[in-house]
Structure 1
């Protein structure tokens, strides 16, 4: 019966492309942050009294529990998913429609049948942020080294480089090449929940000759304006001083004539 249940689940998963993990699997369950996670529990939930436990290992607080009876979550007895309407139980599946960081942890599913027989299955869930867009940049140094760097958002990123389809070294977010290296370089970034890559042409960034000429002309124009302004200010200042001398001379002459008349 369990084999049939697993086969039906595999067919559903292939059609819907949802992430599915099993209570009792030996490997960790990696879930994408913000995405959907399906956790099949048992084919017929009405035959069992289910209890989902999130185990707390630091002994500072009690384990959080959610009870399922007659195929339904008992929200009054579900502090594990309190105030999370996006978590439901449907047809024996625990469905988390939008995974959050707090969903990471160690879980135990306990099944109790009508005879009181109890079995349990454990599962470790690890939540990772999926990879965002990949950016690849090139910096060429005067020593003849071309450094290609790759960056992206996400958790636990692993990098892989290929040049013209051939493998290069793995693991680092940047790689140094000879500036004469030619071709297409690809940076592939992956983690446990997603995979993205970007390919660019290996070309050392160069400064445009037109840009340099325009920049030089702008500087020449700026210096010319500053020089003209400086000359204007000196001329204006000199004219003011000359006018002041003329006024002072005329004032003294008037004062001398007045003294002679008296």
Structure 2
């Protein structure tokens, strides 16, 4: 035979992404799948009574079966058919899977019935981004986007209700760009969806028209106005006794009056003067309003007096964003920003107090980027302000290590903490009625208090006690924290009560790794591991169900190594847990053996492999 026979066997396929389900039992069904994901097509209820069936993608037969028997080779890591429920699964969806599918079924007399379904592949919605922008007249333009999503559909709400015409200047609740009228504020949500997924972004928006007030009755006054907002300049107490007055911006007269009478035309929608209180208002502030203003007043003899004020226009603080990031050694880098704000000034607090050197690794409380030491946790607030407005963002940060909680109010409580993490020990309900209390680690007193007063020095970056809830926190847990703790409480008569708790420190579960390996007879050995975890416990599922003896050749669902029988395939999950954390790894596995041939070697060197393919013997040799 002159032809060269080539053979490609893909042993394993991994499918990550969105799963979709579609009922294709009606003719003309419209189905959707996520690019890179998995679609489950319900083709029939059960095939046991169907004499013959075929599924074609355009003109290609991708499934051919008779009752419970599959007659053709399915692409092992992509197609999977379950005869007992009639579901056809396609993994790792690509644009090439988009199109029309035709199901042909034949009864025992060979009579054909046909149904078609249309499968449309879409990129899913992800990373929704909502960006507000103040316009010159105080309106707010807001755009909403989702990277790469196909056929996105948008909807907007404000404070949980659909936007109305009284709030919208342009756009509508089904577009991705809207413009809000002046002075609209609240919790704005943009929801994005397509046929396969959805996501949203929410932001608390304030009006663009910030109002500021300034006393310009002293010469050299420094005033500030918000870009797009309004400033009220107090120029005089009352003009009824002032013979003549003029306000000039550089050389332009913007206000000219005599007592209660305005002599010049004020720009109607921008300038407004109130004679009875001497206040000059400027609306819709722009950068052009920035500069020096001169007030000239004249008495009845024409004698002038001059005062100067400086008006600075600043973009207000808005949309403060606080972004934490865990670093390699367990420190936390936190950045704080406010879109477009002029001359922002920053300040930070943790649990209501200014950050200290014991908590800060780098940066200070006046910078927009700080790095917190390992195991610092609590309510972190970044406040941003300039001369015209302020805003803040707060976030409850946990240490970059694992947090655990334990109720130690019962004697002999068994508690667990994560190596490098934080443990919260509930020692008492409230200490206000407890005359005296002490917590000892072996023979060392680590907490000594009377009612709400702590009498001893706690290790600042490791121990923290909250009297009003009786919780004792230990940060940066190490193996030395493992052991027995004794709580001693004393009533007003000095009577002692004791409780013991045992704290066990474990390395958490992380980086679960699932490794499949094909064996010589087509079985699959699968190992599961988690780097460094203490006392790991394992469990396995296949397609959401516990593994059975019909699938397992050796091992069981509580060991970290199993061997699967030939022809077992599906979504395999190994879950690893211990007393402080858990994680899992999943992989879509295909069987190691093809439908019409056997692979006699998987991943090892061999001298000769002999494959029987359509009755022809082919020799492949490796050196």
Specify if TM > 0.5: yes
**Is 1:180 paired with 2:368?**
no
Higher mean C-alpha displacement, 46-55 vs 129-138: 46-55
Written as runs of structure 1 = structure 2, the 5 A alignment for 1:93-104 is 93-104=279-290
Q: Secondary structure at the match of 2:343?
A: coil
In structure 1, how many angstroms separate the alpha carbons of the residues matched to 2:215 and 2:307?
12
More helix by share: 1
Give deviations 1:209-243, integer Å, cap 9, x for gaps: 88x857x43xx36xx59x98xx9xxxxxx99xx9x
Q: For residue 366 of structure 2, what is the aligned residue in structure 1?
A: 171
Flag the 1:41–1:142 CA change in 2: closer, same or farther, 3 A: closer
Distance 1:142 1:201 in 2: 21
Matched position secondary structure for 1:47: coil
Between the aligned partners of 1:127 and 1:208, the Cα distance in structure 2 is: 52
1:85 and 2:275 are equivalent in the alignment: no
> 5 Å matches for 1:132-151?
132-151=318-337
CA offsets per residue over residues 148-188 of structure 1, 9 Å max, x none? 11111311101111122221232211110123112221111
Q: TM-score, normalised by structure 2?
A: 0.29
Q: Higher strand share goes to which structure? A: 2
For 1:93 and 1:48, the matched residues in 2 are separated by 17
Task: Choose which of 214, 223, 226 in structure 2 pairs with 1:20.
Answer: 214
Q: Say if 2:221 and 2:308, in contact at 8 Å, map to a contact too.
A: no
Q: Is contact 1:136-1:150 (8 Å) kept? A: yes
- For the residue of structure 2 that corresponds to 1:98, the secondary structure is coil
**Structure 1's 110 and 99: CA in aligned 2 closer, same or farther, altered over 3 A?**
same
Give the 3-state SS of the residue equivalent to 1:102 in structure 2: helix
Give 5+ residue unaligned stretches, structure 1.
1-16, 56-62, 232-237, 243-262
Match of 1:192 in 2: 387
Deviation at 1:45, TM superposition (A): 5.0
Aligned Cα root-mean-square deviation (Å): 3.3
Distance in 1 (CA, whole Å) between partners of 2:256 and 2:511 is 68
Question: Which residue of the partner structure matches residue 257 of structure 2?
Answer: 69
Q: Which moved more, 1:110-119 or 1:21-30?
A: 21-30
TM-score, structure 1 length as denominator? Answer: 0.64
Match of 2:244 among 8, 26, 49: 49
Matched, 1:112 2:301: no
Out of 34, 37, 40, the position equivalent to 2:228 is: 34
C-alpha distance 95-32 of structure 1, shift in aligned 2 (>3 A): same
SS in 1 for 2:300: coil
Matches of residues 202-221 of structure 1 in structure 2 within 5 Å?
Answer: 202-203=397-398, 204=400, 213=584, 216-217=586-587, 220=588
Structure 2: unaligned runs, 5 residues or longer: 1-210, 356-363, 403-509, 513-574, 576-582, 598-612, 617-623
